[in-house]
Amino acid sequence: MVRNEAMLRLAKQSCDPELLYSFFKAMGQPEPDGRVGAALRMNMVRNMCLPDVACEKLQNPSDGKQPICNEHERGVARWDPKVREAEAWKPVR
């Protein structure tokens, strides 16, 4: 329970793109499992530092019920260099 709460807070507030991407990869596709997975997904798509590589995949829900990245909020925050850098982050191959 403590680990889940920490993940949910970090997914919402962290501006570490590598950490956010690791949460995205750990969720698995296509659906998050249970209440914690759904909350994690919701927090991630609302985080303006979510890398575009993860955001793009979260914006194509198969059933139309999953949240999508809020482009307006992400656009407003683009003045922040930390947010621009996080969005452009790519995983190391």
Question: Which residue type, as a one-letter code, is found at position 6?
Answer: A
- Where do runs of H (alpha helix) occur along the chain? 2-13, 17-27, 34-46, 52-58, 71-76, 81-88
Contact between 30 and 56 under an 8 Å Cβ cutoff? The reply is: no
pTM to 2 decimals? 0.75
For the chain, the structural domain boundaries read 2-88
The tokens of 49 are what? Answer: 């530092």
pLDDT tens across the length of the chain (93 residues):
787 888 888 888 999 999 999 888 887 654 555 777 778 888 888 888 889 888 877 765 565 555 667 666 666 676 788 888 888 899 987
pLDDT for the residue numbered 30: 40
